[in-house]
Amino acid sequence: MNKTSLQLLAGLLVAAGVCASPAHADIVLGASVQETGPVANTGRYYRDAYQFAVDKINAAGGVTVGGKKEKLVLKMVDNQSDINLSVRQYVQLLTQDKVNFLLGPFDSSYVIADSAIAEKYQVPMVQGGGASNQIFSRGFKYVFGTLPVASDYFGSTLKMMEQLTPKPTKVALLYADDAFDTSVATGTLPKIKAAGFDLVFDQKYASNSSDFGSIIAQLKAKGAQAVLVAGHETEVLNFVRQSKSLNFSPLMYSFTVGVPSADFRRALGKDAEDAFGMTPWLPEQKLKDQWFGDSAAFAQAYKARFGYDPDYHAASAAADVEAYVHAIEAAGSLDPKKVRDALSKVNFESVYGPIRFAETGQISLPQNAVQIQDGKVVAIYGTKFLAKPIYPMPAWNKR
């Protein structure tokens, strides 16, 4: 093809609105998330919700920067549930891909490692996947989190337990040995004692444990009436299944993960009934924002697009993107330091809840104690009883 023909082709492409190379993004948000591997089932909430929020904000006109509308573009990579790979990917996102700002992965252990990259390069990371106190106790200035503090995850559950009849007196605490779950335990142990409960069992177990038989035998021997478990969803599923097979029926048990998730209920079927859990978010109409309307509409639209129900992970991830919009517009700039300073001052309502970061970089949201009743997640206790709990939990051989 001669020079004249090439020029003619180029002219035709321009006239048709076709570019030989994709247009560069105006504002690029970079993220490494668990799209595959053992943690992908939860990682998908972040993959999907980040994109969902970006698309919604762009459809509404994008982000105003210094009087000009700019679009958001998401640069997302799969860390394959590998922390070391995740760290390398965040370095690449900043040094090679030249993204403007960072969104986080799922899981506190990942956030602890990855946020160190954000701090090193002094580029903000807003994340809704890590709640461990360790993330926010290092004096970092460039990491922000939209999950409640891990050390208070069982706070509302313990307050509820104090008001149950009969009050469970013998309490057991189990927790995995990762950053998040050890933070939960560190905060829960003094609360158990302060409330006057008798801590009859306190044990850490290895993450990804599949055999809880010996632990359940000890719980039965100790006469544990309320069992609090901080762990991963697969571990919780195994714990429930083995409790049934060993006919272990305490008055109640509560889990940090699983209960709000449709996958958890689907995996256990009727055996999921009466399990307590917690969530900082429920799809209620009272939570509103400028892009999604309210959280009920958010949940409906999310399910219509992705084919599964969102839980608090998805809502917090959407709020991460929204936080950037508020901060960028307040800063009137894409300068990382100016946006960081603006993030520290944001105060807005979202479909996830009020977003305002403390000096440590973490928001404060109360947990709702929830329970599975007739296959649905029912809010039982916040600062007061919201619904009647099924308590004591019926014995397995009487269900």
Amino acid at 120: K
Task: Count the Cβ atoms, other than its own, within 10 Å of residue 228.
Answer: 26
pLDDT for position 398: 86
- CA-nearest of 217, 206, 221, 258 to 237 is 258
Predicted pLDDT of residue 314: 96
CATH of domain 27-150+283-355: 3.40.50.2300
Cis bond upstream, residue 166 (ω within 30): yes
Q: What local confidence, expressed as pLDDT, does residue 14 receive?
A: 34
Which H or E run contains 72? Answer: strand 72-78
Cis peptide bond upstream of 392, omega within 30 = yes
Q: Identical fold at 27-150+283-355 and 152-279+368-398?
A: yes
Question: Is-contact 106 79, C-beta < 8 A?
Answer: no
Residues in the chain: 399
Walking along the chain (399 residues) 10 residues at a time, the average pLDDT comes out as: 40 34 67 95 95 97 93 97 97 97 96 97 97 94 95 95 96 95 95 95 92 96 97 93 96 94 92 96 88 95 96 96 98 97 97 95 92 95 93 93
The confidence score (pLDDT) of residue 262 equals 86
User: Quick one: CATH architecture of 152-279+368-398?
Assistant: 3-Layer(aba) Sandwich (3.40)
**Strand locations in 26-65, DSSP E?**
27-33, 63-65
Record the pTM: 0.87
| Domain range summary for the chain, segments of one domain joined by + | 27-150+283-355, 152-279+368-398
Q: According to the model, what pLDDT value does residue 128 have?
A: 96
